[in-house]
C-alpha cells in the first residue's frame, strides 16, 4: 500500500461556481460549516434517501456500516480496526463522497483558508489588504482528502511542516511565519486526513499529531504557530500491529469517538460477489477467448478462502485477505484462457484441472504455520480439495449413485487434464451416458463443449472425493477409474 493524495474520481466534476471574490461569496448567502457538520448533513441526506453511506462495499450492511453511520452523524473521528483485506482503506476513501463537491477558499492559500475565518498569515494578510475584493478559489472534494501510510521514519516535517530554506533565501526572516512550508495535515485543513496503519507511527510523531489536532498549535523550528485546523481524522489499524508491533498513545486514541471493527465476508456468496466485482477478467475480442465461469467453479474459489480462514495450519492473526479470493479467481480464469489460446478454442471455461494453478497465487497471500519442507503445497492442495468437496455435496444430487459407479468397470478409465481439448469430454459422455444427466444439471443446460467439459471434470473429481472413484494424478493430468 502506498501513500496517495486523493482517491480516484468515479464521477464527472460539475463546473465550479463562478463566484470569484469574498464580497460575491458573502452576497450569495454561503455559510461555512465545520467539516464534521458537512459530513453529517450529507450523510443524513443519503440515509433519508435510502442510499448506502459507502458504495461498493459488500457484507457490512448489518455490522460495519451502521456503526459508521452513527460515527458520522455524531461527528466523531474514526479508527477502523481489522485484518488486511477487509476494505478499510476503501471505506476511508469513500468518505470523500460525503463532502460538498466545491469549497470556497482564499485564493493562493496553502491550507484552504476559510474566507470568512482565515487562520494562516498569508490569508489574514490577503483579507486585510483586499477586504471584500479578496480573490476566492474553489477546491474540489477530491483535493480535500489525503492519506498517509504510517511508517517509523515519518517525520514531523512530513505531517506538520518545516522551514523552507528557499523562502529564507528569498529574503524573509526566520521569524516570519511565511517561511514555513506546511506539511500534509495543515494542507488538509477543512478536509479529511487518513492515517493507514496508525500504530506504526512513532510515538513522538503521534504526540505532534495530537498537538496540532487537539491543542491547535505547533512549534516548527522555534515558530509557535496557532493553527485552529478543522479536520476529520480517520485511521486504520491491524489488531496484530495494534497490540504487538506498535501502539497508539492514549491521548490520541482517546480522540477517536468511534472504533469500528471490520471483518471478512460472512459467507461464500458474499465473498464471490466481491471477487466478481473486483477481479480483472480479460475482455472479449482482439483474439482473446470469451470467458465463462460456471457457478460451481466460482464457488470453489470462494469456499477456498472461507476454509483458509478456519484452518489451524494458517496464521489467522495475520488474516486471509479477500484479495486472495480475487487473485485466485483471476488466476483460475487466466489458466483457462491460456488453455483456450493453445487449443484454438473460442470459449475459455475453468475446470477442476485448472485449480492446481491456485497454489501459486495462494502461497504469497497466506502465512503458513511451521511445517516440514515441501508441506505447504500439500496443505494448500488439501484446502482446494476440501472446497471442491463442499461445493460438490451442495450442488450434485445423483438419482442413481450405484449406476454411476457401476459404469466404471475394471477396464473403464477416464482421462482429464487442462491440456485436453473440450471435445474429448463429449466422447467420454458418449461412452458413459449415465453421466450425462448430472453433467447437464451442472452445466445448467448449456451445450457449449467447454462448459460440458468443466462440468464433467467437476463430477469426476467429486466422485473421487466422495470415495466412489479412484484417481491417479500427475501434475494437471488425471486418470479416473472404478474402485473395484
202 and 311 together in one domain: no
Secondary structure letter of residue 223 according to DSSP: E
| Cβ contact 137:186 at 8 Å | no
Please indicate, yes or no, whether residues 83 and 156 belong to a single structural domain of this protein: yes
Is the pLDDT at 5 greater than 50? The verdict is: no
Residue 167's pLDDT is what?
65
C-alpha span between 350 and 451 (Å, rounded): 8
- The pLDDT, as a whole number, for residue 181 is 76
Q: Does one domain contain both 287 and 242? A: no
Distances (CA, A) of 140 to 9, 96, 102, 466: 11, 10, 5, 59
Instruction: Using the predicted structure, report yes or no on whether residue 442 has a pLDDT greater than 80.
Output: yes
Beta bridge partners of residue 193, listed in sequence order: 146, 233
Residue 41 to residue 234: CA distance in whole angstroms: 18
| Residue that finishes a domain, picked among 229, 261, 293 | 261
Listed in sequence order, the residues at least 6 apart from 332 whose beta carbon sits closer than 8 Å to its beta carbon are: 293, 297, 301, 350, 354, 355, 357, 358
Asked, for residue 86, whether it belongs to a domain, the answer is: yes
Average pLDDT, the chain: 87
Is residue 10 included in any domain, yes or no?
no
Cα-based distances in Å from 156 to 153, 202, 219, 385:
10, 10, 10, 51
What is the spatial distance between Cα 379 and Cα 394, in angstroms, rounded to a whole number?
23
For residue 174, is pLDDT > 80? no
Domain boundary pick from 236, 261, 286: 261
Q: Which residues pair with 220 in a beta bridge?
A: 223
How many structural domains is the chain composed of? Answer: 2
CA neighbor of 195 nearest in space, from 89, 53, 318, 322? 89
One domain for residues 325 and 451: yes
- Checking if the pLDDT of 9 tops 50, the result is no
pLDDT of residue 296: 96
CA distance 41 to 64: 20
pLDDT tens-digit readout, 10-27: 467 899 999 999 999 999
Which pLDDT belongs to residue 304? 95
122 with 80, same domain: the answer is yes
Task: Report yes or no on 325 lying in a domain.
Answer: yes
237 in a structural domain: yes
- Residue 154 is predicted with a pLDDT of 86
Q: Which residue has the higher pLDDT, 263 or 178?
A: 263
pLDDT tens-digit map of 180-221: 778 888 899 999 999 998 888 888 888 888 877 776 666 666
Per-residue cell: 214 = 487537539
- pLDDT band of residue 330 (cuts 50, 70, 90) is very high
Q: Do 304 and 213 share a structural domain?
A: no
253 and 302 both lie in a single domain: no
Q: End of a domain among 261, 287, 303?
A: 261
Q: Is 11 contained in some domain? A: no
| Total number of residues shown for the chain | 484
Residue 286 has pLDDT above 70, yes or no: no
Q: List the CATH number of the domain containing 160.
A: 3.40.50.300
Considering the domain architecture, whether residues 340 and 442 belong to the same structural domain is answered as yes
Q: What is the DSSP string of 172-220?
A: --TT-GGGEEE-HHHHTTTEEEEEETGGGS-HHHHHHHHIIIII-EEEE
For the ranges 46-55, 163-172, 296-305, 334-343, which has the lowest average pLDDT?
163-172
Handedness of CA 323, 326, 332, 335 (dihedral sign): negative
What pLDDT does 255 receive? Answer: 84
The H helix count followed by the E strand count for the chain is: 20, 16
Q: Are strands 191-196 and 231-237 parallel, antiparallel or unpaired?
A: parallel
Q: Which three cell numbers stand for residue 351?
A: 475446470
92 falls within a domain: yes
Same domain flag for 249 and 356: no
CB 251 within 8 A of CB 213: no
Q: Are residues 235 and 273 in the same domain?
A: no
Q: What is the pLDDT of residues 333-386, one digit of tens each?
A: 999 999 999 988 999 999 999 999 998 898 888 888 766 556 788 888 899 999
Quick check: is 1 in a domain? no
Q: How many CA atoms lie within 13 A of 22 on its CB side?
A: 21
- The SS3 call for residue 195 is strand
pLDDT of 175 above 60: no
Range of the domain at 291: 268-482
pLDDT at 8: 44
Cα end-to-end distance, the chain, whole Å: 55
- Residue 164: C-alpha distances to residues 110, 116, 130, 185 (Å): 14, 28, 26, 17
What angle (nearest 5°) sits at the alpha carbon of residue 447, between those of residues 445 and 449? Answer: 135
Nearest CA-CA partner of 93 in 210, 212, 191: 191
- Across residues 62-68, what is the average pLDDT? 94
The pTM score is: 0.83
Distance CA(64)–CA(80), nearest Å, equals 9
Lowest mean pLDDT among 86-90, 222-226, 300-304, 479-483: 222-226
Task: Report CA 388 to chain centroid distance, whole Å.
Answer: 26
Same domain, 453 and 374: yes
* Same domain, residue pair 328 and 187: no
In a domain, 8, yes or no: no
Residue 1 has pLDDT above 60, yes or no: no
In this structure, the strands spanning 145-149 and 413-417 are unpaired
Looking at the predicted structure, is the pLDDT value of residue 4 above 50?
no
For the chain, give the percent of residues with pLDDT over 90.
55
Amino acid at each position: 500500500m502506498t501513500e496517495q493524495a486523493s482517491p480516484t474520481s468515479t464521477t464527472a466534476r460539475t463546473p465550479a461556481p463562478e463566484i470569484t471574490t469574498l464580497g460575491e461569496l458573502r452576497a450569495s448567502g454561503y455559510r461555512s460549516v465545520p467539516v464534521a457538520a458537512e459530513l453529517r448533513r450529507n450523510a443524513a441526506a443519503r440515509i433519508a434517501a435510502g442510499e448506502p453511506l459507502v458504495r461498493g462495499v459488500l457484507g457490512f450492511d448489518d455490522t460495519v456500516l451502521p456503526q459508521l453511520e452513527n460515527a458520522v452523524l455524531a461527528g466523531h473521528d474514526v479508527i477502523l480496526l481489522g485484518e488486511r483485506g477487509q476494505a478499510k482503506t476503501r471505506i476511508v476513501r469513500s468518505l470523500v463522497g460525503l463532502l460538498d463537491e466545491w469549497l470556497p477558499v482564499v485564493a493562493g492559500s496553502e491550507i484552504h483558508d476559510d474566507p470568512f475565518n482565515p487562520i494562516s498569515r498569508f490569508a489574514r494578510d490577503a483579507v486585510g489588504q483586499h477586504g471584500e475584493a479578496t480573490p476566492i478559489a474553489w477546491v474540489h472534494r477530491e483535493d480535500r482528502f489525503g492519506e498517509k501510510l504510517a511508517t517509523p521514519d515519518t517525520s514531523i516535517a512530513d505531517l506538520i511542516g518545516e522551514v523552507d530554506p528557499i523562502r529564507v533565501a528569498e529574503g524573509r526572516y526566520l521569524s516570519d511565519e511565511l517561511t514555513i512550508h506546511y506539511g500534509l495535515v495543515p494542507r488538509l485543513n477543512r478536509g479529511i486526513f487518513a492515517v493507514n496503519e496508525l500504530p506504526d507511527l512513532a510515538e513522538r510523531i503521534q504526540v505532534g499529531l495530537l498537538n496540532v489536532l487537539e491543542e491547535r498549535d505547533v512549534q516548527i523550528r522555534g515558530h509557535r504557530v496557532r493553527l485552529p485546523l478543522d479536520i476529520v481524522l480517520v485511521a486504520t489499524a491491524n489488531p496484530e500491529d495494534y497490540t504487538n508491533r506498535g501502539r497508539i498513545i492514549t491521548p490520541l486514541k482517546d480522540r477517536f469517538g468511534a472504533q469500528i471493527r471490520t471483518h471478512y465476508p460472512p459467507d461464500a456468496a458474499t465473498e464471490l460477489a466481491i471477487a466478481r466485482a473486483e477481479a480483472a477478467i480479460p475482455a472479449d475480442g482482439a483474439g482473446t477467448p470469451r470467458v465463462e465461469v460456471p457457478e460451481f467453479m466460482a464457488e470453489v474459489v470462494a469456499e477456498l478462502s472461507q476454509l483458509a480462514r478456519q484452518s489451524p495450519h494458517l496464521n489467522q492473526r495475520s488474516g486471509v485477505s479477500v484479495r486472495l479470493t480475487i487473485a485466485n479467481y483471476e488466476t483460475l480464469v487466466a489458466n483457462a484462457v491460456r488453455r483456450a489460446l493453445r487449443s484454438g478454442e473460442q470459449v475459455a471455461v475453468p475446470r477442476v484441472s485448472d485449480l492446481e494453478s491456485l497454489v501459486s497465487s495462494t502461497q504469497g497471500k497466506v502465512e503458513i504455520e511451521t511445517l516440514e519442507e515441501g508441506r505447504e503445497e500439500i496443505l494448500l492442495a488439501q484446502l482446494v480439495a476440501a472446497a471442491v468437496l463442499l461445493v460438490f455435496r451442495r450442488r450434485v444430487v445423483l438419482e442413481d449413485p450405484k449406476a454411476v459407479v457401476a459404469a466404471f468397470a475394471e477396464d473403464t478409465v477416464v482421462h482429464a487434464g487442462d491440456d485436453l481439448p473440450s471435445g474429448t469430454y463429449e466422447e467420454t459422455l458418449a461412452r458413459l451416458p449415465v453421466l450425462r444427466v448430472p453433467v447437464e444439471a451442472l452445466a445448467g443446460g448449456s451445450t457449449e463443449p467447454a462448459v460440458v467439459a468443466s462440468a464433467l471434470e467437476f463430477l469426476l473429481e467429486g466422485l473421487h472425493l466422495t470415495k466412489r472413484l479412484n484417481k491417479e494424478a500427475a501434475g494437471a493430468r488425471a486418470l479416473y477409474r472404478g474402485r473395484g
